[in-house]
Chains A and B, each alone.
Chain A
Amino acid sequence: MSLATRLARNGVAGWLLPAAIIVGWEGAARAGLIPANVLPAPSAVAEAFWRLTLSGELIRNIGVSTLRALSGFAIGGSIGFALGLANGLSALSRGLTDTTLQMIRNIPHLALIPLVILWFGIDEEAKLFLVALGVFFPIYVNTLLGIQSVDPQLVEMGRVYGLDRRALFFRVILPGALPSIFVGLRYALGIMWLTLIVAETISASSGLGYMAMQAREFLLIDVVVLSILIYALLGKLADSLARLLERLSLGWHPAFKKG
């Protein structure tokens, strides 16, 4: 096995490019190719990271943002999941709600920011509402799609073998819908961070987005860059967690087979 293949297997290969970019960036900044007021050197960003970590500001803001992101996700995600299940299992429920939901889906949720600020001010509710609305649709759409795409032959088999409704749901329908639900989950996690950062940038008094906006006011460009890097890392972390869950629960799926 070649070195490149082995690195790719271990997931190291994915980090080679970011590392190369950082090294090149540092070199260019030191050589004076990039002015410090356009983009600070990675070492300056690392310094800002250390400074904010020591003051406790960074941890506090990450904590605040993470809590917001997860609560918004929990609210929007569980409503989306519940409605997706209901509409996938019951034609009546689908007939009643799907048209309305599809209409709302086509409104960009960030377009509601002015309205949300009028309703909730810049309090926590505003951010929770936007995040919940943002994650609702990917979860709803993919849960519904997952349930509708469960093989009807398997459902018929389950009925013939006497599985009751409960068993049919937990042993046939839900596992069959799971791959699609995971697609929705990963989409939703991306939208969760996006929405939160935008909402915090516009209206907040704490959190990562707020930290970045404050730094802009004081021309602390190293802190602005640091915030952006942290978004990237948090996004990657959320995605990795989702993929881990996916691998753990979809071990049967040929696409997720180990080795």
Chain B
Amino acid sequence: MPAAILTAARSLVATPAQARTIGSVGGHRAFAFKEVGKRFGDKIVLDGISLDVRAGQFLAVIGKSGCGKSTLLRLLAGLDRPTSGSLTFGAAEEGHSRTRFMFQEPRLLPWASVVKNVEVGLTGIAGGAEARQRALAMLDEVGLADRADEWPSVLSGGQKQRVALARALVGQPQILALDEPLGALDALTRIEMQQLLERIWLNQKFTAVLVTHDVGEAVALADRVVVIGAGRIALDLDVPVARPRRHGSAELAHIEGTILDHLFNRG
């Protein structure tokens, strides 16, 4: 079963030549959904999603519970296969993992030290001393270098999620898929994590796809916000606000209002 999924995911990757022709307009393309549908039995979860995402873009996907936003992310990460339509990816770069997934829970191995947990992100990329060195460097980036040899159980919720972020990013993925990773954190830790995520994203230039139900978080972080409703894209909005952004600024509040209106009027 898992092997089948992985093979399927690989077959979805476009060849470099294809990708170059597709991605010729508007910068390099990270990935594209074309009329993608997903059904579980009789239940239609996604109904013809078309989405073209530029490499390096920060995309936020918003929707009410059960709207299919998590399914969209699972398709992107190759955890599920679309029932119809197609999914193409930009050219894979040498030495980079293609997609990394960050879950709502940290999902750290409790029996492995913090640094060993980060090394899981280098599976098939690096091993031994090099893996440890890269993992330590990444931990430094998320501010946890001094906790490298501790067990995850002694960390706070926010710290665990930072370790999970380090694990996701240590393989230098081209696409980072985030499934409400900050949902379980308290409000202050959340803002701290958002800033950390933004800073690392600005440094590493990966394509980020953040699924969230927090509209404030989406407009604070994203270049582009997509609202999913009834399995379709209900709204596709750019957030042309310069960074660093200030939480609660009038500009962001205005965009947030537009999105909220949209979410509730269309219900």
Contacts and interface: CB of A to CB of B under 8 A. Distances in A.
A254 B153 contact: yes
A161 B109 CA distance: 13
A161 B112 contact: no
Contacts of A250: 111
Contacts of B97: 162
A171 B153 contact: no
Interface stretch (B63-71, B99-107, B187-195): B99-107
Interface string B77-101: 1010000000000000000010011
Given A153-B105, A153-B107, A157-B107, A171 B77 contact: no
Interface residues of A, number: 21
B111 A163 contact: no
B151 A252 contact: yes
B124 interface: yes
Contacts of A160: 77, 79, 101
Contacts of B152: 252
Q: Chain B: interface secondary structure? A: loop
A161 B151 contact: no
Given A171-B109, A175-B111, A153 B121 contact: no
Measured as residues with beta carbon below 8 angstroms from the partner, the interface class of chain B is 20 to 34
A161 B103 contact: no
Given A153-B103, A160-B79, A160-B101, A252 B120 contact: no
B109 A167 contact: no
B107 A154 contact: yes
B215 to A, nearest CB: 27
Given A171-B109, A254-B153, A162 B101 contact: no
A216 interface: no
B143 interface: no
Nearest to A178: B111
Contacts, number: 50
Contacts of B123: 161-163, 167
Contacts of A178: 111
A61 to B, nearest CB: 41
B103 A157 contact: yes
B2 A159 contact: yes
Contacts of B6: 159, 162
A44 to B, nearest CB: 50
B77 A161 contact: no
Interface of B: 2, 5-6, 77, 79, 97, 100-101, 103, 105, 107, 109-112, 120-121, 123-124, 151-153, 167
Given A175-B111, A253-B110, 7 more contacts: A156-B79, A159-B2, A171-B109, A175-B112, A250-B111, A252-B110, A253-B153
13 contacts: A153-B105, A153-B107, A154-B107, A160-B101, A161-B120, A162-B6, A163-B123, A167-B123, A176-B111, A250-B111, A252-B111, A252-B112, A252-B152
Interface of A: 153-154, 156-163, 167, 171-172, 175-176, 178, 250-254
State the 6 A-B residue pairs at the shortest beta-carbon distance, nearest first: A175-B111, A157-B107, A252-B111, A159-B2, A252-B151, A162-B123
